[in-house]
Structures are given as structure tokens and as C-alpha cells.
Amino acid sequence: MTAPNAHDPESLARLAAGVATRAGELIVRMRDRGVTVAASKSSAIDVVTEADRAAERRIVDELLAARPEDGVLGEEGAGVAGTSGITWGIDPIDGTTNYLYDIPAFAVSIAATVPGDAYADRRRAVAAAVCNPRTGELFEAWEGGGARLGGTRLRFAGRAELGALLVGTGFGYTEERRREQAEAAARLIPHVRDIRRIGSAALDLCNLAAGRLDAYYERGLQPWDYAAGALIATEAGAAIIGRDEATPPGEPYLFAGDAAVVDELRSVVLGG
């Protein structure tokens, strides 16, 4: 049976943190033995490794052992319908291309979500953990409890001037999507301090929370890409918006940064 504190966000975050840390240790061990590409997804260069699949299995097994009534939605295909109201969004390796090349910017991302977002078809993240196992950094947050890095509270200190922003973004894997994203970056770059393309949406949002980026945007994110990182960023104090007031953050767009400048960032990226 699900524990009495079934919907206690802090307990959910602690569980996510432990599971993410252990999954991170697994993918590092597997990476150190060499990478095996198991399949491709949206294009030939959008790969899935055996470590993605092994880590997702490990995460699902641990979460359901602790909370058997919960649901699960994983990037690599894990899908379990739960009865508790909690569904875990899992990205076992966010930044798989970085993992493939052993660039130390990949992460395990886990978020606990519940119904009740402002948008009827979306769920709301209430607890999250993002672990970068190469650096040993563990980000975590729970609804109303703030965001933390290694136990230290994060407070987003955003910049309100577009020209002063260091902006993170990412690119998809299809030719058409990359062309659109390149055009958006070309519109933006004359107006900001600079752009960074780190290769992990989860870490971009965590880096925003930690003050390593001033803003972030991306097109084409799926819930498992951003759910954990977005909660960490918002609990640190960042504002997150979608393409317009009627569209939730995620697909087609997510914009994050200081509330005083994020609308302007969106306008430039979209060519408004």
C-alpha cells in the first residue's frame, strides 16, 4: 500500500533524489565500459543507448517498489497506469549525445506529477530531482519548499535587460526542426550577451536556477525533458511561460528567465 505521506512533496523529492543518484551511478559505470547504441528515434542521429534502457528499468523498479500504486511515464517507453494520483516523469539520460561522447553534461531527471495544472490537459510537477553523475551535482525541489543544489538553497537572481542575458537553448534532431531553431537563434543573438547550447534541457533549467544562465528557451520539449528542471527553476524564483498566454510551457515552446524580461525574450525568438 502507498504510505500515508503519499502526496507529501518533500518525501517525494527525497525518493526521487535517491533513485536519481543510484541511476546516475549505473549509467556512469556503463559509460566507463563503453557505449552501446540500441536504437534511433526521430532521426538517425537521435540515439538510444543500452544505458538509457537499463537506467529507466532501474528507476521504474525502484519507484514502484517504494510506491506500487503510482504511475510512470518514461522517455524510453515505460508506461504504468497508477491509482494514487502520482505519475513519475522519467528521463533516464537527458543529454544522450553528450553521454555518447562522454561530455560531462548529462543527467538523470525524475519528477512526481499530479493532476491540476492550470491547463486541463497537463499535469503539475510537485517534486523533482536532477542528478549529473559526472559532476556529482544533485538538484532537487518540491512544491512550496524551494530548490536546492547539494542541500544549499537556490535563489534565482535574474537579469531584467535583454542585452545582458546569457541564454541557454537546444536543438532537435530533424532537419526541419533544426532549420527553424537556427533561424530563431539568429534572430536572438544580436540582442543578448550570448547563447549557450549545453545539450540537456534538464541541466539548462537547473543551471538557470543556479545562476549559470540568465534565461532559457527551447522548442519541442516533452514532459520528461522539462518537468523536473522546470519545477527546480520555478522554485528557485524563475518565471516560465509558453508560446502564448493560452499555451502551456513545453510543446511547442518553453521560455524561462526573469519575469521582467521573459516576455521580451519570447517576442524576439518568435519574431514578434
Known binding positions: 75, 91, 93-94, 225
Backbone angles phi, psi at 249, to 5 degrees: -60, 145
Backbone angles phi, psi at 235, to 5 degrees: -70, -25
Number of Cβ within a 10 Å radius of residue 203: 27
d(CA 130, CA 146): 14
Residue set of the binding site for Mg(2+): 75, 91, 93-94, 225
d(CA 146, CA 8): 14
d(CA 160, CA 148): 23
Number of Cβ within a 10 Å radius of residue 218: 27
